[in-house]
Amino acid sequence: MRYQRDSGLYGALIVREAETPFPIFSETFEDQPERKTMAILDTMINPQTSFMGRTSVLPRYCLPDGSGIPVQFDYIQFQMNGQRLPRRASFAGLNSQIEFYVVGGKNYRFRIIAATEENIFVISIDQHKMHVMATDGYLVKPFETDYLVVHVSERYDFILKAKEGVSPGSKFPIRIQSLAVLCNDNTKLAGESYGFLVYTNGFVPMRPALRERLIVQNGRCNDKSNPCKVLNCPFGKMPNDYSNPGTYMTCFNVLALQLLIPTPQGEYPSSVVDRKNEFFFNFHQTAEGLINGIKFDFPEEPILISKKIINECAYPVRCNKIGRRHCRHTVYLENYGSSTRFVLSSLRLPVPITHPIHMHGHSYFIAKIGYPEYDESGRITAPNKDLKLPSCGHATWSDGTPGGIVVNSTTVRKDAIIVPAGGYVAIHLLQKNPRWWFMHCHIDYHLNHGMAIAIGENPTMASTPPDPLYNVTEEFCFTLQTFLLKESSNG
């Protein structure tokens, strides 16, 4: 918790598919996670100091739809795979240590891990398309895209098709761009870094024998008749002029992805849910409230082993109790086996924020994504009208359940989803995993301030931890003095 990831407490854990029965993609590819993984970080520069100074400055950077970003870019340092990346660099003379080696004519699986804290990035490779083939652990039918957006905690895999006939030594920028831009000027990125895709004869660089030739693609999206694709775009349409004047980009959200291996009948929730299994969570940061106006206070002991949750406020929290804004915010799912809907929104204007919402214990099904209203240039003018949000409490549908909420066997599953600023996402799940689960915004700054809720999924059905766990708890929960004693006795 807190800002430990900022201090290096993170790592990439990659679980590979079993060799058999590995699903058949139409094309084969090399799968070398140790060589083809991009773990992206945005490290805060002295976070505590930065946050203290944060509120006193006007935001310089926004998303191009005019929405806010949680932390200003001046406080950020980019990293990939543990290497610091230049914040903003020209290609000339740049000797980035991040290089990925490919052989012309072969296909490779690349993995992107957004081990980030606050920011939303846009990935692209000059002169190459990405064929997205997995997200958050689920294989999907390959989707060809020019740009891929990744928000905090999301994982995406793509197939890169190394071109035939490209001479060894050719080197293409892998761009890691901020989606954030200077407020009111979409052409000025808040930050941009690079790695390189390098063509070679084998798995390793051939320096000094290999002469490198840098190939940069300028004006990639300037053809109006053939706009670039942007996958996992948090906007209903791409705002004008992102990164360069006169760019043409088309937004696709994750609903453009379909599972490669369909979910068996009976293992996915239905499109229609009973009203008692529908819950609305509006994410909005104020000094006091973060989800439906409630700031989550972390319990002093795990809810799992608590007899009673002290200072609990259970969904739906009524407005006459809104004085208790700091509490253990909980929601109870009490209908085992039922299809359940969460409507996650970010509706409060004038400055909504795009939140990456993560839930433990489930990979949910993305049933619908709704966007705000935009002006001609793609800036938000009003929140989505499917929902109405009272001055306190949770949102409700404005005019009954809207159309277009669909779950089927190929509906994409994720455990982290972008909630568009001014819009909403309907996620569905089956109540099948009794326990307490945590749902939270994955922006560290938001999480640490209480943008979280504890989900009691039929908790009385959850098996009690076995006695030995209680016994070892005694062993692992000890005072600092005992820790120091243990440490010194262990050498």
Q: Which is nearer to Cu ion, 283 or 364 (CB)?
A: 283
- What single-letter amino acid sits at 328? R
Least separation in angstroms between residue 446's CB and Cu ion is 3
Rounded CA-CA distance 257/23 in Å is: 16
Report d(CA 142, CA 308) in Å as an integer: 48
Mask 431-470, x = binds Cu ion (CB under 5 A)?
Answer: ----------x-x--x------------------------
Q: Which stretch binds Cu ion (CB under 5 A): 84-92, 232-240, 349-357, 431-439?
A: 349-357
Q: At residue 381, what are phi and psi to the nearest 5 degrees?
A: -115, -30
Q: What is the Cα–Cα distance from 291 to 364, expressed in whole angstroms?
A: 19
Q: How many residues bind Cu ion (CB under 5 A)?
A: 4
Per CB under 5 A, the segment of 181-189, 197-205, 352-360, 419-427 that binds Cu ion is 352-360
On whether the CB atoms of residues 367 and 428 are closer than 8 A, the answer is: yes
Give the nearer residue to Cu ion in terms of CB position, either 36 or 446.
446
Give the shortest CB-1-to-Cu ion separation in angstroms.
Answer: 15
Give the nearest distance from C-beta 351 to Cu ion in angstroms: 13
CA–CA distance, 337 with 404 (Å, rounded to integer): 23
Q: Rounded to the nearest whole angstrom, what is the least distance from the CB of residue 397 to Cu ion in the complex?
A: 23
Question: Which of residues 111 and 355 has its CB atom nearest to Cu ion in the complex?
Answer: 355
> How far apart are the C-alpha atoms of 409 and 406, rounded to whole Å?
10
Cβ atoms 127, 146 nearer than 8 A = no
Q: To the nearest whole angstrom, how small is the minimum distance from the Cβ of residue 50 to Cu ion?
A: 17
| Other C-beta atoms lying within 10 Å of the C-beta of residue 471 | 9
* Closer Cβ to Cu ion, 38 or 152, answer by number: 152
Rounded distance between C-alpha atoms, residue 130 and residue 479, angstroms: 51
Q: Is 205 helix (H, G, I), strand (E, B) or coil?
A: coil
**What tokens were used for 400?**
């009954």
| Contact positions with Cu ion (CB under 5 A) in 132-171 | none
When the beta carbons of 161 and 446 are compared against Cu ion, the nearer one is 446
For the CB of residue 125, give the shortest distance to Cu ion in the complex, in Å: 29
User: Which range binds Cu ion by CB under 5 A, 43-51, 155-163, 348-356, 384-392?
Assistant: 348-356
Interior angle at CA 414, CA 409 and CA 417, nearest 5: 125
Q: Report the residue number, 33 or 59, with the smaller CB distance to Cu ion.
A: 59
Least distance CB 438 / Cu ion (angstroms):
14
Pick 372 or 459: Cβ nearer Cu ion: 372
Residues 106-135 that bind Cu ion (CB under 5 A): none
User: How near is the Cβ of 444 to Cu ion at its closest, in Å?
Assistant: 9
Comparison of 221 and 441: residue with beta carbon closer to Cu ion? 441
**Residues 278-317, interacting with Cu ion (CB under 5 A):** none
- For 475, the enclosing helix (H) or strand (E) is helix 467-476
Query: What are the structure tokens assigned to 409, written together?
Result: 């066997």
Q: Which of 111, 348, 355, 394 binds Cu ion (CB under 5 A)?
A: 355
Q: How many CB atoms lie within 10 A of CB 279?
A: 20
Contact region with Cu ion (CB under 5 A), list: 221-229, 250-258, 353-361, 394-402: 353-361
Report yes or no: 72 and 54 within 8 Å, Cβ to Cβ.
yes
Residue nearest to Cu ion (CB): 441
Which of 110/281 has CB closer to Cu ion? 281
Q: Which residue has the tokens 């409230």?
A: 289
Q: Encoding tokens for residue 25?
A: 């993609």
N-terminal to C-terminal alpha carbon distance within the chain: 28
Exposed e or buried b for every residue in 3-20, given b needs 16+ CB within 10 A? bebbeeeeeeeeeeeeee
For Cu ion, which stretch binds (CB under 5 A), given 248-256, 351-359, 418-426, 460-468?
Answer: 351-359
Nearer Cβ to Cu ion, position 63 or 407?
Answer: 63
**Least gap, CB of 177 to Cu ion (angstroms):** 21
Q: Whats the size of the chain, residue-wise?
A: 491
* Min CB(124)–Cu ion separation in Å: 25
Query: Which residues face 40 on adjacent strands?
Result: 80, 114
Instruction: Kindly list the residues in this chain that would bind Cu ion in the complex (CB under 5 A).
Output: 355, 441, 443, 446
